[in-house]
Structure formats: C-alpha cells, structure tokens
Amino acid sequence: MLSVAEVWLADDLAALGHDPRPSLQADLYRCARETGWTPGHLSNEPQPYVLHGTVDWQERRTGAQVRMRVSGVAPVLGFVPVLPVPYAWESPYLDQPPLTAWWQRAGWLVPDPSWLNATFAAADLRGLPPATARELRQWPNLSRGDALFFEW
C-alpha cells in the first residue's frame, strides 16, 4: 500500500536516484559541522502520529530554532517552528535556507513550504489507498505537509 508521500511526490522521489535514509544519523552530524546548526537527538516519538521522527535544530550564533520532521516512508523532510501548539498539525511549514539547501544536496526531498502549507484538493486524493483518502476527506483544512508527515 502506497503512502501519501509515495503518491504525491512520486516523480520527485524517482528523480532522487538513491535512498539517503540509511545515512540519516551520519548526515545529522555532517550537517551540523557544515552549517553551524546544532541538532538535538533524533526522537522517534516526540509528537503523536508523526510517521518517523523529528530533530530540533538550533543555530549556534543566533539561537534560532526549528524542528525538522522526518518521514518514515520516504526520504522527505519538512521544517516547522519549535513552538508549543495545541496540536502538532497546527505548525506552519517553514523555509530554513541553510538547512533546506544542505539536506537537498545530501539527497533528501524537502518540498517547498508554500506547497506543504496549502490544503489539499479533492484531486490530490486520487491514487491514495481508499482508507487513507477516506480519512483525509474528514480533514478538509489539513495541510499537504501534515498529510505527508502524519499517519492516517
């Protein structure tokens, strides 16, 4: 059964050429050395329903923080603020240029935040497994990003 990421991002994922997920842990340290951002540990259960995990990053000079969401079914990442919100799916997706560029060069897919923040259309549900499409129809205001990174 295909996931939301595998359906919606099929062409982009095919263009990656390889799966960078096995090197995630090593990439965290390389990214830190090369960007000046410090990662926290990879947490597999920081928020309910996140498919794989999150990593909180902090910029060493300014103290700026961002949370990186990591898909568990495809090499896809997204960035959201590190802010307490009532529900994890209420966080807007952000562009973090130094981190986004680094992870894209490392072979990961980081969709544009404007695409991630947009709500999905009925046409987006075509091709999804029937149970997933049914579940997402119940959440018409959900962003594409949250449909990708959360388990439905």
Note the pLDDT of residue 47: 45
Instruction: Indicate if the pLDDT at residue 11 is higher than 90.
Output: yes
* Residue 54 phi, psi (nearest 5): -140, 160
Coil, helix or strand for 136?
A: helix
- In sequence order, the β-bridge partners of residue 55 are 68
CA atoms within 13 A on the CB side of 108: 27
Domain that holds residue 122: 4-149
Domain count across the chain? 1
Tens digit of each residue's pLDDT (9 = 90 or more) over 12-60: 999 998 899 888 888 988 999 999 999 875 555 444 444 468 888 999 8
Percent of the chain past pLDDT 90, that is, above it, reads 56
Instruction: Indicate if the pLDDT at residue 151 is higher than 50.
Output: yes
Whole-number mean pLDDT of the chain? Answer: 86
Note the pLDDT of residue 51: 46
Where on the phi/psi map is residue 43: left (φ > 0), alpha (ψ -120 to 50), or beta? beta
pTM attached to this predicted model:
0.86
Question: CB neighbours (10 Å) of residue 85?
Answer: 12
Say which residues have a Cβ less than 8 Å from residue 51's Cβ, sequence separation at least 6: 3, 71, 72, 73, 149, 150, 151
- In sequence order, the β-bridge partners of residue 53 are 70
* Alpha-carbon torsion, ordered 38, 28, 48, 64, to 10 deg: 20
